[in-house]
Structure 1
Amino acid sequence: MTTTTGTAAGHRLPDFPWDSLEAARARAAQHPGGIVDLSIGTPVDETPEVLRAALAGAGDSPGYPMALGTRELRTAAAGWLRRRLGVTLADPLGADPSVVPTIGSKELVALMPTLLGLRDGTVVIPEVAYPTYEVGAVLSGLAVRRADAPPAEAAGIGLVWLNSPGNPHGRVLTDDELRAWVTWGRAHGVPIVADECYATLGWEVQPRSLLHPAVAGDDHTGLLAVHSLSKQSTAAGYRAGLLSGDPVLVRRVWEVRRHLGLLVPGPVQAAMTAALDDDAHVDEQRERYRRRRERLAAAVRAAGLRIDHSEAGLYLWATRDEDCWTTVEWLAGLGIVPAPGSFYGPAGARHVRFALTATDERIDAAAERLTA
């Protein structure tokens, strides 16, 4: 299915969706056991010592950092991609770099059309999607088209966003689906960019990177992937992300970023290097999320909701087969606040999203209320 949901007219941003949850939060806060806010997926566990030590050790940082990233960081990023995702980059230290650091991933997502120099046309995003894909298109004066499969007509399309594992629904694209987009993008000269921020959090299936040789083939022509340390390293406050893939496209993004002064601070680059070289803290955090997922999923089902997709990532995508705001109101009465699925597009209007990023105590409180 393909849906056109916006135009470039007026460059009007949508309302900031989280503001509309204030009434639900106020009601939930009246619960005797306090609010359990599962609406925003912000990490709550301690940032691992390996990052904090590296950050502190690089605190004497009087000079400007490089938009390109240090050699150590780019080498660590290439090693992480190869070790964890089976992706081998072209020379990460080459004149046309195949990986650069970014100030988190949201900033990169919002600016991607601008960084790639798109001036008119359409950005394709998933039917159910992270709102910032649309925001980035609108900021660049571009139209938005929602599609979960390559459209028959490519005229005017300048960029395609994929998201696997998906936010909000945790859906993982199959190798065949990824290859179909790669073939379509290369045939029409349209960059395909995959947001893979939850790639290390596969539960029922193992997510595959767009840059994996089983998908991309022998090179990354026309392909980019976005990664983040926010969730896997509980470092959202560090604003630490990566862009990798086609060296021509990465260089184009890097050149604009250094003109704009979009620089990852030097101490954060040191922390990123340490984090990408260390797998133990990632595996420990993954285990925490696995336990929370099992506890919450059982309670959500016991309360009569159906969980769709959710085979990977940090969320449960659930429905009572009713308007999402009706479900939000019911849950607020239990002191629980999810994200309404309508935040993520018309196709999400009958679902809610539960985040797994609350503390163990708050997840347990939500489970107890759902099963009472």
Structure 2
Amino acid sequence: MPPSPVSGLLPVFPWDKLEPYKAAAAAHADGIVDLSVGTPVDPVPDVVRQALADAANSPGYPTVWGTAELRDAITGWCERRLGAVGMTHRNVLPVVGSKELVAWLPTQLGIGPGERVAYPRLAYPTYEVGARLARAEPVPTDEPTELDPEGLRLVWLNSPSNPTGKVLDAGELTRTVAWAREHGVLLVSDECYLELGWETDPVSVLHPDVCGGSYEGVVAVHSLSKRSNLAGYRAAFAVGDASVLGELLQIRKHGGMMVPAPVQAATVAGLGDDAHVAQQRERYGARRAALRAALEASGFRIEHSEASLYLWATRDEPCWDTVGELSKLGVLVAPGDFYGTAGERFVRVAFTATDERVSEAVRRLTA
């Protein structure tokens, strides 16, 4: 008998549902303005491209744990940017893009049937996908500390949030870390947008004010996709509890889950240079301000959105109605129900398009 298809465990891939609206937007006389996916469009920083080129002659296999230089770069960045203390190489695990880790973490942790994985009620869909791939029960929640901890193996936090841009403050994080430790539940915080705070300065679960200077039971996930325009490089890492990451390292060695050597070198360069991050923040900040003003002028209300690369917008109507109306203007956005039923009257508007396309969207919204 052939094996049962694993795809049957998973929800319909949401972006496929957007294709007719993408086609409608693309038919606009002045072209599509795609504000849906949120993929970077600006150049890869020169310092990163040079490091990649310099490491191009890498004929041997890279290691799953990465080079010592990469681990040094990660621990140094965590101390400088996140305020982490006492971090060693044992607290570091390079990964092949953060989505890969999110999707496969429950499986690699040995979570399975009869066990539960919790994640935010409004969330990036891959948290649910990861639970389903492991055949565990997915549990969307607004407040993990109110869950029954029985059978709960993993709690995902996402701050700043995708899609809403909401940021959890230090008090909320501290309370959740303490609860997870009390009940023996692993807490993993997806912090890939942490360097993109606009109205607040997001805090990491690795900050000593949150975790008490100990990484027990706590892991954070970070990526260079957004901060450094490296989505095409698949450069990311997990940091935190050494016992958890050590176990993952052993499993991933067997699976050959290696970041390519040139990408490791590029990551070192990217983490060591703050100038390009500041420059990219300026680009995004200007686009955000322009789009927010245009959306509000055309009848939208913006909620949360204090960080990340998105505006969480509503006209108090079904999200697909909003998507359809905007597609007639040649503007494509993501429907909020992609991220859970709680988003069914919102749309997510990315400000990752070029300056020219953002200006065109503003013109159409305010015409």
Shorter-chain TM-score above 0.5: yes
Equivalent residue, structure 2, for 1:354: 349
Structure 1 position 148, deviation (Å): 2.0
Q: Does 1:77 align with 2:71?
A: no
Which residue of the partner structure matches residue 333 of structure 2? Answer: 338
- Is 1:67 aligned to residue 60 of structure 2? no
TM-score (norm 1): 0.95
Change (3 A) 1:252 1:145: same
- In structure 1, distance between residues paired with 2:270 and 2:147: 42
User: Residue type of the partner of 2:104?
Assistant: L
Report the alpha carbon displacement of residue 184 of structure 1 after superposing the two structures with TM. Answer: 1.1
Q: Does 1:250 align with 2:245?
A: yes
* Aligned partners of 1:130 and 1:168 also within 8 Å: yes
Please give the root-mean-square deviation of Cα atoms over the aligned residues, in Å.
1.1
1:146 deviates by 1.0
Matched residue type, 1:72? E
Please name the residue that 1:117 is paired with: 110
Moved over 4 A (4+): none
Matches within 5 A, 1:1-372: 12-92=9-89, 97-120=90-113, 121-149=115-143, 150-372=145-367
* SS at 1:180 equivalent: helix
Deviations 1:14-48 (A, max 9, x none): 01100001111111112111111111010000101
Report the 3-state secondary structure (helix = DSSP H, G, I; strand = E; otherwise coil) of the residue aligned with 1:55. Answer: helix
User: What amino acid does structure 2 have at the position aligned with 1:169?
Assistant: T
Please report how far the alpha carbon of residue 100 of structure 1 lies from its aligned counterpart in structure 2 after TM superposition: 1.6
Secondary structure in 2 matching 1:237: coil
CA distance in 1, matches of 2:245, 2:220: 10
What is the alpha-carbon distance in structure 2 between the residues aligned to residue 173 and residue 273 of structure 1? 28
Once the two structures are aligned, what percentage of the paired residues are identical?
A: 56
Give the Cα separation in 2 of the matches to 1:142 and 1:10.
15
SS of match in other structure, 1:176: helix
Partners of 2:44 and 2:7 in 1: CA distance: 41
For these two proteins, the number of residue pairs brought into alignment is 360
> Are the equivalent residues in 2 in contact too, given 1:37–1:358 (CA < 8 A)?
yes
Q: Which moved more, 1:299-308 or 1:116-125?
A: 116-125
Q: CA deviation at 1:90?
A: 2.8
Change in 2 beyond 3 A, CA 1:161/1:11: farther
Name the amino acid aligned to 2:68: R
Q: Please state whether the residue corresponding to 2:356 is helix, strand or coil.
A: helix
Q: 1:262 to 1:89 in 2, by over 3 A?
A: farther
Quote how far apart the aligned CAs of 1:352 are.
0.2
C-alpha distance in structure 2 between counterparts of 1:183 and 1:301, whole Å:
39
Following the alignment from structure 1 to structure 2, what is the Cα–Cα distance between the partners of residues 262 and 113?
16
Contact 1:65 1:264 in 2 (8 A): yes
> Which whole-Å CA distance do the structure 1 matches of 2:167 and 2:154 have between them?
20
CA distance in 2, matches of 1:226, 1:91: 16
Amino acid at match of 2:116: T
Unaligned regions of 5+ residues in structure 2, if any? Answer: 1-5
What's the offset of the Cα at 1:292? 0.5
- What is the aligned partner in structure 2 of residue 5 from structure 1? none
* 1:116 to partner: Cα distance: 1.4
Alignment CA distance shift 1:227-1:272 (3 Å): same
- 1:102, 1:243 within 8 Å by CA — same for their partners in 2? yes
Conserved 8 A contact 1:99-1:243:
yes
**1:124 & 1:293 partners in 2: Cα distance?**
31
For 2:232, what is the secondary structure of its paired residue?
Answer: helix
Q: Give the TM-score taking structure 2 as reference length.
A: 0.96
Do 2:85 and 2:213's aligned partners in 1 also have CA atoms closer than 8 Å? no
Please list the CA deviations of residues 213-237 of structure 1 after superposition, one character each: whole Å capped at 9, or x if unmatched.
1100020100000000001000100
Q: Secondary structure at the match of 1:162?
A: strand
One-letter code aligned to 1:140: A
1:152: how far off? 4.1
